[in-house]
C-alpha cells in the first residue's frame, strides 16, 4: 500500500460511501433537455431515495427537479463529501481540482475519453487526474459506473432500480457492465450488498486498496471481484492473501485467453496475465476462482446463506431417477459425496414415500411431483438424523403444479404450495442445524408459461426470506457448495 | 442388429409413431375417480389433439370422456396400431400378449415395478415382457414416459402441453424426466421435434435400434440422446458411427462418476462405463458429447438453425467492453477466433457508432443499449463484408428498454424494438449469407421485472420465427457453435 492510502481514514471512506452532501457535476437544467450521465444519475438517485443533500452543478445554471443548479463547484454553499463528475473528458481535471480544494473526500468520474482511447490526449488527461488525486481527493474511475451503496442510496449508472437492502456482499469491478449486471442479478437471487464499486480505468482507487478497505469493513462478509488487468501484481496478491484469511474473496478474471488479453489492454488500459499464473496464485492465497459472473453470483449466494464450514456429505431429495444420477456426477466433480443412508433411516424414509417408482436410498427419489410439503418436511427431518449428512438439497418440482392448477381452474401461484414448503424447510433447518439448499428447476419458460415463471419468482422470495438459498440447477448449486467447502477446508488446514 | 429388428418395417414404425387406432389400457371410468397414468395420458392426448381413434380399456368397463371403456383388449372392435399400457406391473404381460395377438405393431409400458426394483419378481415380469416382444410386438419401456410425436399428437407422460409443431430434432432417453424436460425446453428455445422416445428399462426397443431407425428417418436431421447405461456396447458404437456419418448425434452420458454408476444400475438396470472410454469412443465416431441437458439443448439449437459448415471466425456486436473480453475468452476456449476487422471496415463501422465509449474493432462495442435496430442492421451488414467473418453474434441489451418504458409510461413490451431488430437481422442474413446468432441476456428476473421476462419471451419468438437462434448467454452460444464446427470439420476431413 502506498503512503496516501494510509492517510485515507475510514472516516474518509465513510464520506465516500455514505455522503451527507453530494455534488453532481454535469446536470442539465430542465429546459435544456440534454440527458447526459449526470442528469441520468440525479434521476436515478432520486428514484433510489438517496438520503443526503444533492447539489447539481452546470456552468449554465438553472433548475432541475426543484434543485438550484450551481454554476461552479465553488459556488456550493456547503461542505461536500462526495462528487459525481459527468462532464466532457477535457473539463474533468478542472472540476476535480475544484472539488479537492473544497475538501471533498472523493469523486467518481463517469466520463469516458481517457487512457482507454489509447490517444496521447486521453493519457495526458488521465495523468492530470492522477496528479490531482495524489494531492488528497480519492478518485473512482474515470470511465466507470461509480459506486452502489444500498445503505446510503448511492447507485451505479444507470441503476434507478437497485435494491436498498444492505447485505454482506461487496463487489469490485473494472467493468461497469459487470457491476450493474451483478447488482441486478443479486437483487433477485437474494444477494444483498454492502458496497459495489465499478472503478473503470482505476486511476486512483482500485483493486488493491479497495480490497484492503473491504478486508476490515464490518459490513462486508464476502467479496466478489471482476478483474481484467491489475496494476501492481505483488501488492494485489499480498492484499488478497491478507483478505482471504479473513473472508472469502471470489475472483472472476476476464481476459485469460490471448485474444482476451488484447481486449483487456484496449478496454481498461491495464495488463492481463496468463491463465496458469492466475490459477496457481489464486489457489495459493485461498481465493476462489470462478469462470464467469453466473458462477460468481452462485458462489456468493452459497457463502452468504451457508454457515462457515465444510459440507462433504450431502443428501439429495428430488423427483426422477436421472436427477439422482446427475447429482452423483456433480457431487463427485466437486469433491462431495452422496452417501447411502444407514439402513434404519432408509426404512423410515421408505414409509414416507409414495409408491411405486420412489426410492429411499440417497438420492431420494420422491417419484411424484405432488408430494405434500408436510411429507417432504418429514422426509428431510429423518434424513438429517443420519450422522453422515452435512447438508441437504431439495429439488423442487413446483412447476408441475400448473397441471393441477389447470384442473382446478386456478392460477398456479395460488395452487403451488411454495410458502408451506418454505416454512417447512426453515423448520427442519432450525431443528436439525443442517442447512438445506433449494433447487427451483423450470424447463417451462415460454410465452405460454409465464405464470410458472411468476410463481417461481414468488416462491424464490419465500425461500430466500427464510434463509434458504435457491439455485436454478443442481449442478450449479453443488459447484457453489464446492467453493464454500474448498475455501473453509484450506483456511482451516492453514490455521491448525 | 438382431434379426427381429430387421423384420420390423418402416411401416411398423409408422404405426407406432403415428397410430390411427390407439388402445389405452388402464383408464378408469369417470365415476371411479381413480387417476392413474392411463387416465392422465388419455387427458393429455385429448389436450394435445391426438388425431387417431382412442380405445380405452379397463376390466371394470364404463365411460370416460364420452368413450366406451372396453373390458378387454380383445373386445376392441377394430385393429389397433399402438397400445399405451398403464396397469399394475403384474398385469402387464397378459395385456401385452393380448395386444400382440391383436396384431398391434407396438406398445409403450408406462408402469413401473420391474427390473429397476432389483427384486426377483420384477426381473421375472420383465423377462416375460421380453419374451412376448420377441414374438412380434415392439415394446417401449417399461418404467418410461413413452413417445412424443408432434405430427401425430402422441405425448409423453404427463405432457398435455407439448408443442404440436414438428421439426428436425429427435431425442432418445432412458430417463422419462429428461425426455419431458427436454421436450418442454425445446418448446420455448425453438427446438421442434420429429420424435422423442423415453424408453426407460428398454426391454425391447432401445438406444441402438432406435438410432438405426432415426439414421434413416427423413424427418430427423439432428439426434439427441440421454444415455445412462447401454445394453450392447459394440452394436451401439457401430450404430452411432453409421448415424454420425449422416447426421449429428449429441450424447449426454449420465453416470460417469463412480457414485453415478451405482445410481445408473439401480435406476435403469443397465451398465454404465468409464469417463475416458466414453469420451474417446464418442470422439472416434464423431458424436458430440455434452455435459448436461442444457448444453444438449443449446447444441441441438445450433445444429437446427445454422447451415452445415464450420464457422471459425466470428464477429461480436454488443455493449460493454467486458462483454468483448468474455467473447474473446469463450472463442479461444471453443477454438474460434474474433479477428480484428480490416481497416476500411473498421472505419465504416466507426462512422455508424455512437460516441464516446464505442469501439469499432471486433468485438464491436456499441456502448449504448438504445442504438436503433436500423443502425445495428447497418453495422452488421458492413461487418459481414469482411471476408474473414463466417458468422456474427449480436448481444442484444433489450432489457435496458425498461428504463425508457418507464420514462414514456408504456409497457416495456411496446417500447423495446425487438420485432424491428428481428426483421433487420433476418434481412442481413438473407443479403450476406452469413448466419447471425442472437444473445438475449437478462440480469433482471425478479418479481419486479417480470415485464422484462415477458418481453424477452416475446422477442425470442420473433427472432426464432425469422430463423435466428437465440441463447441466454454468450459463452453458451459460442460453445454450441463450437460443437457444430467440430462435427462438420471432422466429418469433412473424413470424407475428403
Chain B, window 15-74: residues with a beta carbon less than 8 angstroms from a chain A beta carbon: none
List CB contacts (< 8 A) between B461 and chain A: 447
Q: Which residue of chain B comes nearest to A227, CA vs CA?
A: B322
- Confidence check: pLDDT of A453 > 90: yes
**Global confidence as pTM:** 0.93
What is d(CA A457, CA A450) in angstroms, rounded to the nearest whole number?
Answer: 10
Q: Sheet with B391-396: list strands edge to edge.
A: B364-365, B314-318, B391-396, B436-440, B470-471
Q: Do domains A3-302 and A307-495 have the same CATH topology?
A: yes
What is d(CA A25, CA A39) in angstroms, rounded to the nearest whole number?
Answer: 9
Rounded-to-5 percentages of helix, strand, coil across chain B? 50, 15, 35
- Confidence check: pLDDT of A267 > 60: no
Contact at CB, A359 and B266, closer than 8 angstroms: yes
Given a cut of 70, the residues of chain B with pLDDT beneath it are 1-6, 33-34, 262-273, 320-321, 495-496
Q: Are strands B63-64 and B249-253 parallel, antiparallel or unpaired?
A: unpaired
CA dihedral (B461, B466, B469, B472) positive or negative: negative
The label of the residue with cell 452394436 reads: B235
Q: What is the pLDDT of residue B495?
A: 67
Q: Which residue from A175, A443, A454 is facing B321, i.e. has the nearest CB? A: A175
The label of the residue with cell 438553472 reads: A62
Asked whether the beta carbons of A126 and A95 are under 8 A apart, the reply is no
What is d(CA A116, CA A266) in angstroms, rounded to the nearest whole number?
Answer: 6
Please write the tens of the pLDDT for every residue from A288-343. Answer: 999 999 999 999 999 999 999 999 999 999 986 677 788 988 999 999 999 999 99
Using pLDDT thresholds of 50, 70 and 90, give the confidence band for residue A34. low
Grid cell, residue B95, equals 395385456
CB contact B321 to A (< 8 Å): yes
CB contact B259 to A (< 8 Å): yes
Query: Phi and psi at residue B384, in whole multiples of 5°?
Result: -65, -25
Contacts for B4-9: CB closer than 8 Å, 24+ residues apart: B4/B134, B4/B136, B5/B209, B5/B212, B8/B138
Q: Which of A243-257, A298-312, A451-465 has the lowest mean pLDDT?
A: A243-257
From B205, B223, B226, B201, select the one nearest B214 (Cα to Cα): B223
> Smallest CA–CA separation between A4 and chain B, in Å?
30
From B134, B164, B139, select the one nearest B45 (Cα to Cα): B164
Q: Which residue of chain A comes nearest to B264, CA vs CA?
A: A325
List CB contacts (< 8 A) between B473 and chain A: 292, 294
Q: What is the pLDDT of residue B447?
A: 94
Contact at CB, B182 and A338, closer than 8 angstroms: no
Using pLDDT thresholds of 50, 70 and 90, give the confidence band for residue A380. very high
From A167, A101, A97, select the one nearest A130 (Cα to Cα): A97
Q: What is the pLDDT of residue B3?
A: 40
Q: What is the pLDDT of residue B264?
A: 63
The label of the residue with cell 450488498 reads: A193
Q: What is the pLDDT of residue A263?
A: 64
Q: Which residue from B175, B322, B402 is facing A175, i.e. has the nearest CB? A: B322
List CB contacts (< 8 A) between A176 and chain B: 320
Range A98-116 average pLDDT: 95
Q: What is the ipTM of this complex?
A: 0.91
DSSP string, B432-485: H---EEEEE--S--SGGGHHHHHHHHHHHHHHHHTT--EES-HHHHHHHHHHHH
Range A101-130 average pLDDT: 95
List CB contacts (< 8 A) between A326 and chain B: 254, 260, 292
List CB contacts (< 8 A) between A338 and chain B: 259
E strand spans, A135-280:
138-140, 146-148, 166-173, 193-198, 222-227, 249-253
List CB contacts (< 8 A) between A457 and chain B: 445-447, 450
Neighbours of A60 (CB within 10 A): 11
CA dihedral (A346, A349, A354, A360) positive or negative: negative
Query: Phi and psi at residue B460, in whole multiples of 5°?
Result: -55, -45
DSSP string, B157-209: TT-TT----EEEEEEEES-HHHHHHHHHHHHHHT--EEEEEE-TT-SSS-HHH
> Smallest CA–CA separation between A358 and chain B, in Å?
10
Half-sphere exposure of residue B254: CA atoms within 13 angstroms, side-chain side:
28
Query: Phi and psi at residue B315, in whole multiples of 5°?
Result: -110, 150
Please write the tens of the pLDDT for every residue from A35-83. Answer: 788 999 999 999 999 989 999 999 999 999 899 999 999 999 999 999 9
> Smallest CA–CA separation between B357 and chain A, in Å?
6
From B250, B106, B257, select the one nearest B178 (Cα to Cα): B250
Contact at CB, A228 and B325, closer than 8 angstroms: yes
What is d(CA B240, CA B256) in angstroms, rounded to the nearest whole number?
Answer: 19
From A45, A21, A53, A17, select the one nearest A218 (Cα to Cα): A17
CB contact B319 to A (< 8 Å): yes
Q: What is the pLDDT of residue A2?
A: 43
- Domain range annotation of chain B: 3-302, 307-495
Range A439-454 average pLDDT: 95
Contact at CB, A262 and B454, closer than 8 angstroms: no
> Smallest CA–CA separation between B491 and chain A, in Å?
28
What is d(CA A435, CA B42) in angstroms, rounded to the nearest whole number?
Answer: 42
DSSP state of A74: G
Contact at CB, A174 and B322, closer than 8 angstroms: yes
What is d(CA A267, CA A462) in angstroms, rounded to the nearest whole number?
Answer: 40
Q: What is the pLDDT of residue B323?
A: 76
From A152, A67, A76, A156, select the one nearest A108 (Cα to Cα): A156
Q: Angle at which helices A233-246 and A474-495 pack, to 10 degrees?
A: 90
> Smallest CA–CA separation between A322 and chain B, in Å?
6
Contact at CB, A450 and B453, closer than 8 angstroms: yes
CATH code, B307-495: 3.40.50.261
- Confidence check: pLDDT of A265 > 90: no
Q: What is the pLDDT of residue B432?
A: 98
Asked whether the beta carbons of A453 and A408 are under 8 A apart, the reply is no
What is d(CA B231, CA A303) in angstroms, rounded to the nearest whole number?
Answer: 43
Contact at CB, A259 and B338, closer than 8 angstroms: yes
- Is domain A3-302 in CATH 3.40.50.300, yes or no? no
Amino acid at each position: 500500500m502506498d503512503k496516501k492510502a494510509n492517510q485515507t481514514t475510514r472516516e474518509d471512506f465513510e464520506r465516500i460511501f455514505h455522503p451527507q452532501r453530494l455534488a453532481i457535476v454535469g446536470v442539465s437544467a430542465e429546459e435544456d433537455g440534454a440527458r447526459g450521465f449526470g442528469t441520468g444519475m440525479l434521476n436515478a438517485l432520486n428514484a433510489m431515495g438517496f438520503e443526503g443533500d444533492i447539489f447539481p452543478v452546470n456552468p449554465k445554471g438553472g433548475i432541475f427537479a426543484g434543485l438550484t443548479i450551481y454554476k461552479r463547484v465553488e459556488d456550493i454553499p456547503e461542505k461536500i463529501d462526495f462528487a459525481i463528475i459527468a462532464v466532457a473528458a477535457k473539463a474533468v481535471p478542472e472540476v476535480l481540482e475544484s472539488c479537492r480544494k473544497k475538501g471533498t473526500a472523493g469523486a467518481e468520474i463517469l466520463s469516458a475519453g481517457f487512457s482507454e482511447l489509447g490517444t496521447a490526449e486521453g493519457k495526458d488527461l488521465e495523468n492530470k487526474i492522477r496528479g490531482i488525486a495524489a494531492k488528497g481527493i480519492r478518485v473512482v474511475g474515470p470511465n466507470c459506473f461509480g459506486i452502489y451503496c444500498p445503505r446510503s442510496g448511492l447507485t451505479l449508472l444507470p441503476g434507478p432500480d437497485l435494491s436498498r437492502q444492505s447485505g454482506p456482499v461487496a463487489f469490485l469491478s473494472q467493468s461497469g457492465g459487470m457491476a450493474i449486471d451483478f447488482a441486478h442479478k443479486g437483487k433477485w437471487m437474494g444477494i444483498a450488498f454492502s458496497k459495489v464499486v465499478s472503478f473503470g480505468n482505476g486511476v486512483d482507487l482500485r483493486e488493491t486498496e479497495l480490497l484492503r478497505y473491504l478486508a476490515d469493513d464490518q459490513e462486508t462478509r464476502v467479496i466478489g471481484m471482476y478483474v481484467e488487468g491489475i496494476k501492481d501484481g505483488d501488492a494485489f496478491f499480498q492484499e488478497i492473501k491478507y483478505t482471504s484469511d479473513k473472508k472469502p474473496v471470489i475472483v472472476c478474471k476476464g481476459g485469460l485467453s490471448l485474444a482476451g488479453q488484447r481486449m483487456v489492454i484496449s478496454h481498461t488500459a491495464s495488463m492481463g496475465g496468463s491463465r496458469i499464473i492466475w490459477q496457481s496464485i489464486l489457489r495459493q492465497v485461498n481465493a476462489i476462482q470462478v469462470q464467469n459472473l453466473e458462477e460468481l453470483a452462485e458462489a456468493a449466494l452459497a457463502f452468504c446463506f451457508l454457515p462457515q464450514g465444510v459440507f462433504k456429505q450431502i443428501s439429495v431429495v428430488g423427483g426422477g431417477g436421472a436427477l439422482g444420477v446427475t447429482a452423483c456426477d456433480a457431487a463427485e466433480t466437486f469433491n462431495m459425496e452422496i452417501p447411502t443412508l444407514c439402513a434404519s433411516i432408509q426404512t423410515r424414509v421408505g414409509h414416507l414415500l409414495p409408491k411405486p417408482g420412489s426410492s429411499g436410498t440417497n438420492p431420494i427419489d420422491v417419484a411424484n411431483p405432488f408430494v405434500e410439503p408436510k411429507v417432504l418436511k418429514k422426509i428431510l427431518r429423518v434424513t438429517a438424523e443420519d450422522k453422515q449428512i452435512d447438508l441437504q438439497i431439495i429439488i423442487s418440482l413446483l412447476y408441475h403444479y400448473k397441471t393441477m392448477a389447470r384442473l382446478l381452474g386456478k392460477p398456479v401461484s395460488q395452487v403451488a404450495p411454495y410458502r408451506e414448503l418454505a416454512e417447512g424447510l426453515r423448520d427442519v433447518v432450525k431443528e436439525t442445524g443442517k442447512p438445506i439448499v433449494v433447487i427451483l428447476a423450470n424447463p417451462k419458460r415460454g410465452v405460454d408459461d409465464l405464470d410458472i415463471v411468476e410463481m417461481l419468482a414468488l416462491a424464490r422470495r419465500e425461500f430466500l426470506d427464510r434463509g434458504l438459498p435457491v439455485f436454478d440447477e443442481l449442478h450449479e448449486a453443488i459447484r457453489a457448495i464446492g467453493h464454500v467447502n474448498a475455501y473453509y477446508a484450506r483456511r482451516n488446514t492453514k490455521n491448525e
